[in-house]
Amino acid sequence: MLLDVDARDTHQGYVKIISPGYVSGLLRVADVLSISVVGMAVAFIYVYSDASEFSSRYAAAIFMGTFLAGMMFQWFSVYKSDNIFARHMPLDRLLSAWAIAFAVLLAIAFTLKVSSYYSRIWAVSWFVGGAVVLTTTRIAIGCWIKERAREGCFADRTVILGAGEQGQRLAAFLREQSDPRMRVIGFIDDRKTRIPDQVHGYSVLGNIDHLIELIRNNMVDQIFVALPWHAHERLKYLVHELAITPVRICLSPDLLGLDFPNRTFTSVAKVPMLQLFERPISGWSHVTKSIEDRVIASLALLFLGPLMLLIALAIKLDSPGPVFFKQPRFGFNNQLINVWKFRTMYSDLSDRNCEVQTVKNDPRITRVGDFLRKSSLDELPQLINVLLGNMSLVGPRPHAVATKAEGVLFTDVVDRYAARHRVKPGITGWAQVNGWRGETDTIEKIQKRVEHDIYYIDNWSIWFDLKILFKTAATVIKSENAY
């Protein structure tokens, strides 16, 4: 006989009626139709008045553009489940992928010398119209997903096996995530008589026999086994009992593993291992980022060369001393590098190791230096560091060796501070474009910087770099917290 369990929580109201895989398929179809239909509609409007006269040349271009867009969407992980069900649908990935696909299509047309056969108005209208329809369609489907998610249509009914400390921490973590693809309906524990009926707001439904009965009655979709790994005999027995049931069974990480969320398991010599950290931006990613750095830095130096010469002249006329200022800072792998900057302080007051952080209206700063700092133009010589290979365009900002927050060295303030040095430092970074630039006089400021830097390292991609570079321009214009 089943124990009293709210039917709405286990059977009727939260039966999974839509697979996340179907949602991904729906988005793929919607994107393909959006791009192809807009391309054809614009061609009929601007090029042909009669559908029967629609040229195969335009049809081929639309087919190729749609195919390239599909490839880019896949490469940018547009259809990844985590992105589809994110609280805020990442439209930037979608539009970046569409822009790159269209750029590749134009490059192919230019290379094959067939671009003159196509209407420029059609091409521009297709690109802009495609972006608008893709965005509109994605927002509409996103609203539908959120509505269905509130009804529990994507939620796997989940039971946590084990109501001890490990199970409780897992339940608390899952509740914090609020993932619409999963809903905890309660705990199962053989010690039902020795534990309360409610743990962390979830009911303790019963023992292992009751769990099997719930599964037989189609009330459970998946089980998270949250028992200490050292209790291997008990684990083996319970897993053996559950192996005959047609549900997904997952082994939750031990207590230590819960301190490292978002990590994946990998197989090494046929042994499953929890991969805590991977060497960041390695392999082809390192090659790609290196090319990105050197190409953009070279173009920037060519374009900004005259401006840099004017800045150098202004510095010499404003105060005596050298044009450039080199400061030792920690770089990749915690190695010291000399970071180039335009000099912004009087030469006799320069603080090479940053023993005292710059403050607002700092008397050490020259008139030209004040403007350069507020506009971030003093950082331009770091393009030389990028070409030398000891800095990147985007990455954690390097700090001087003696900088402190509330009188304490940065390395002593944040436990994972040194993890910022797992990649090359950057001229700009994720922390800077999110408002954490300028003076780091409090512990909270450096903690937030490190938090954003670690996020960047863990989530690096070319599109992420480009997004930061575009946002940097807007951030520099505001000139907030820069002095």
Cα gap 216→220, rounded to integer Å: 9
Q: What is the pLDDT of residue 90?
A: 75
Q: What is the pLDDT of residue 7?
A: 39
Identity of the highest mean pLDDT range in 47-61, 64-78, 262-276, 352-366: 64-78
Cα gap 82→22, rounded to integer Å: 14
Compute the C-alpha angle 70/71/75, nearest 5°: 120
Q: Residue 290's CB: how many other CB atoms inside 10 A?
A: 15
Q: What is the pLDDT of residue 113?
A: 85
User: Quick one: 233 and 121 in the same domain?
Assistant: no
Tell which of 150, 171, 190 closes a domain: 150
Tell which of 275, 294, 328 closes a domain: 275
**pLDDT tens string 375-400:** 888 889 999 999 999 999 999 988 77
Among the residues of 353-398, which ranges form H helices?
367-375, 382-388
Cα–Cα nearest to 436, from 424, 420, 412: 420
Structure tokens at 242: 């559950």
Is 3 part of a structural domain of the chain?
A: no
pLDDT at 15 over 60: no
Q: What is the pLDDT of residue 193?
A: 59
User: Quick one: 330 and 419 in the same domain?
Assistant: yes
User: Quick one: 292 and 245 in the same domain?
Assistant: no
Query: pLDDT class for 117, splitting at 50, 70, 90?
Result: confident
Is 4 part of a structural domain of the chain?
A: no
User: Quick one: 314 and 454 in the same domain?
Assistant: yes
Tell which of 231, 256, 275 closes a domain: 275
Query: pLDDT class for 477, splitting at 50, 70, 90?
Result: low
Q: What is the pLDDT of residue 358?
A: 67
- Mean pLDDT confidence for 262-282: 70
User: Quick one: 255 and 128 in the same domain?
Assistant: no
Is 257 part of a structural domain of the chain?
A: yes
pLDDT at 13 over 50: no
User: Quick one: 304 and 373 in the same domain?
Assistant: yes
User: Quick one: 127 and 167 in the same domain?
Assistant: no
**pLDDT tens string 402-429:** 665 555 666 656 666 777 888 899 999 8
Query: pLDDT class for 9, splitting at 50, 70, 90?
Result: very low
Q: What is the pLDDT of residue 259?
A: 65
User: Quick one: 32 and 101 in the same domain?
Assistant: yes
Is 365 part of a structural domain of the chain?
A: yes
Is 1 part of a structural domain of the chain?
A: no
Among the residues of 51-119, which ranges form H helices?
56-75, 81-84, 91-111
User: Quick one: 27 and 163 in the same domain?
Assistant: no
Mean pLDDT score of the chain = 81
Q: Residue 188's CB: how many other CB atoms inside 10 A?
A: 27
What total number of domains does the chain contain? 3
Cα gap 446→355, rounded to integer Å: 16
Query: pLDDT class for 48, splitting at 50, 70, 90?
Result: low
- Mean pLDDT confidence for 171-195: 80
Query: Per-residue DSSP letters for 411-467?
Result: HHH-TTGGGGGGS--EEE-HHHHTT--S---SHHHHHHHHHHHHHHHHT--HHHHHH
**pLDDT tens string 137-173:** 999 988 888 888 777 777 788 899 888 888 888 888 8
CATH number of the domain at 231, please.
3.40.50.720
State the pairing for strand pair 222-225/248-251: parallel
The order of strands in the sheet holding 248-251 is 198-199, 202-206, 182-188, 156-161, 222-225, 248-251
Is 51 part of a structural domain of the chain?
A: yes
Is 184 part of a structural domain of the chain?
A: yes
pTM as predicted = 0.56
User: Quick one: 163 and 67 in the same domain?
Assistant: no
Query: pLDDT class for 208, splitting at 50, 70, 90?
Result: confident
Between 298 and 23, residue with greater pLDDT: 298
pLDDT at 480 over 60: no
Cα gap 433→349, rounded to integer Å: 30
The domain in which residue 116 lies consists of: 20-150
Structure tokens at 333: 């792998």
Is 7 part of a structural domain of the chain?
A: no
- Mean pLDDT confidence for 13-40: 81
Q: What is the pLDDT of residue 458?
A: 83
**pLDDT tens string 315-334:** 989 888 889 988 888 888 87
pLDDT at 36 over 70: yes
User: Quick one: 236 and 193 in the same domain?
Assistant: yes
User: Quick one: 386 and 411 in the same domain?
Assistant: yes
Percent of the residues in the chain that have a pLDDT greater than 90, as a whole number: 19
Structure tokens at 89: 């649908």
pLDDT at 12 over 50: no
- Mean pLDDT confidence for 247-272: 71
Cα gap 209→190, rounded to integer Å: 9
